[in-house]
Amino acid sequence: MQRLHRDPLRVNVRVEEAESGRPLGHLVDLSLGGFCVSGPRPAVTGIGPVKVRLVLPWAIDGARDIPLEVVMRWARPVRGRQRAGYVISHCDDDALRRLSHLAARCAGRAG
């Protein structure tokens, strides 16, 4: 399995189930292909894509969230919390623009 480079985030971006609003945790890292979430409870599981929403601390292009469809690839406990890795299976053009902006603005780049 190929893993795209993911930069750690320097801002607090919440992740929740899109339909129920159940909190999943906060983004740990992000790439345009996927992300890692850290939270107190088990991650969303299931077969096929799951709809989630990244809740932004400020608006990007007039929106405070980024809706995505994701597939969980792994989950494990890390220092008393649950971490899970997701690959993005679908997002619309507006969501992709906001995701690109978030990654460029908030990801910690070495160097």
Distance CA 23, CA 1 (A): 28
Distance CA 79, CA 92 (A): 35
The percent of residues in the chain predicted with pLDDT above 90, rounded, is 48
**pTM, 2 dp:** 0.84
Per-residue pLDDT tens digits for 4-33: 556 567 788 999 999 889 999 999 888 878
pLDDT at residue 69 above 80?
yes
